[in-house]
Amino acid sequence: MAPLTRPTPLTRPTPLTCPALNIPPLYHGFFTREDGYSTGLYHALNCAPGSGDHPENVARNREIIRSAINRPAARLCGLNQIHSNVVHQLDKPWQENHAPTGDAIVTRQKNIALALLTADCAPILLADPIAGVIGAAHGGWQGALGGIVENTVQTMCHNGADRQHIIAAVGPCIARESYQVGAEFRAEFTRQNPDYRKFFDHDTIKTRYLFDLKQFISHKLRRAGVRNISLLPDDTYGDADRFFSYRRATHRGEKAYGRQISVIMLL
């Protein structure tokens, strides 16, 4: 575990946001790795319990997120993410150390920040501001292929959302030019739907492909009836100063990596 050697952060971190979600009654943010307590491979705003980082660093970093939200009564609720298509409806906040297992949360409750941890997977934040329903989904390739997007939208609709009013923002994740995959990876998609070939381009190595996770998730959102979709341009793999990346850590032979956090909340 990294020692507690870092002083208090220099500033309150400013998250990336999507203009379409910058409306009442919503708060949202895609936080980067900047301005936290963690050191070494977890530098600096690692928000992932169980990542191998010092637990006190992680706890302090998550407190920074609560402070940045700037709502005294705000609660932070995440999941034990497993790359599934499991969605949980949140009717009352759960304790961080008793979070359920799954990859999306939907709620109508106010002052509860739905939280996602990512390090190349796509954080997907959704809201119907008219109905007062929000959702947060962890969009890795397995979950996206398995139906996490459709299940999240469906659960939002069960809670009163209208597909035509849902706003979706896909946050920083690994970009197409950084996501080289093999033929077997591509085959998992084309076995489900041959049309999914359009999300794969040949790399310079003919036996390898480049996969467009952002566009695949956008396709899934449109198929689920969502029309107001924004894709943030940031590449977690390519921007080491601002983002953690599982794939970059693997390619560098690093034994650990942190995760950035994304949140959405009804005020």
DSSP letters, 97-133, are GGPPBSSEEEE--BSEEEEEEESSSEEEEEEETTTTE
Strand partners, 135: 106, 126
**Would you state the pLDDT for residue 4?**
53
Domain count, the chain: 1
Asked, for residue 8, whether it belongs to a domain, the answer is no
CB 137 within 8 A of CB 126: yes
Question: Between vectors from CA 25 to CA 68 and to CA 116, what angle results, nearest 5°?
Answer: 50
Q: Residue 184, Cβ neighbours under 10 Å: how many?
A: 7
Classify residue 138: in a domain, yes or no.
yes
34 vs 13: CA distance, rounded Å = 7
pLDDT at 219: 98
pLDDT at 5: 54
pLDDT reported for residue 11 = 65
Q: Is residue 9 part of a domain?
A: no
**Cα–Cα distance between 25 and 127 in angstroms, integer?**
10
Kindly compute the dihedral angle of the four CA atoms of residues 195, 84, 176, 240, in this order, to the nearest 10 degrees.
180
In a domain, 27, yes or no: yes
Non-local (6+) Cβ contacts of 191 within 8 A are none
- What per-residue confidence (pLDDT) applies to 71? 82
Q: Which of 157, 62, 55, 72 minimizes the C-alpha distance to 106? A: 157
As a residue count, the chain comes to 267
Distance CA 135, CA 127 (A): 6
Question: Is 168 a domain residue?
Answer: yes
pLDDT for 72 equals: 74
- Say what angle helices 148-158 and 213-223 make with each other, to 10 degrees: 40
Is residue 254 one of the residues assigned to a domain? yes
Check residue 203 and give its pLDDT: 85
The tokens of 128 are what? 């119907």
Sign of the Cα torsion 108, 113, 117, 121 reads positive
The reply to whether 130 falls in a domain is yes
> Residue 218 is encoded by which pair of tokens?
């956008």
- DSSP lists the bridge partners of residue 128 as 133
Owning domain of residue 80: 19-266
Q: For residue 190, is it within any domain?
A: yes
What are the phi and psi torsion angles at 220 (to 5°)?
-65, -40
pLDDT in tens, the chain (267 residues): 444 555 555 567 999 999 999 999 999 999 999 999 999 999 999 999 989 999 999 999 999 999 999 887 789 999 999 999 999 999 999 988 899 999 999 999 999 999 999 999 999 999 999 999 999 999 999 999 999 999 999 999 999 999 999 999 999 999 999 999 999 999 999 999 999 999 999 988 778 999 999 999 999 999 999 999 999 999 999 999 999 999 999 999 999 999 999 999 999
What SS3 class is residue 54? Answer: coil
Helix (H) and strand (E) counts for the chain? 6, 13
Whichever domain contains 160, its CATH number is 3.60.140.10
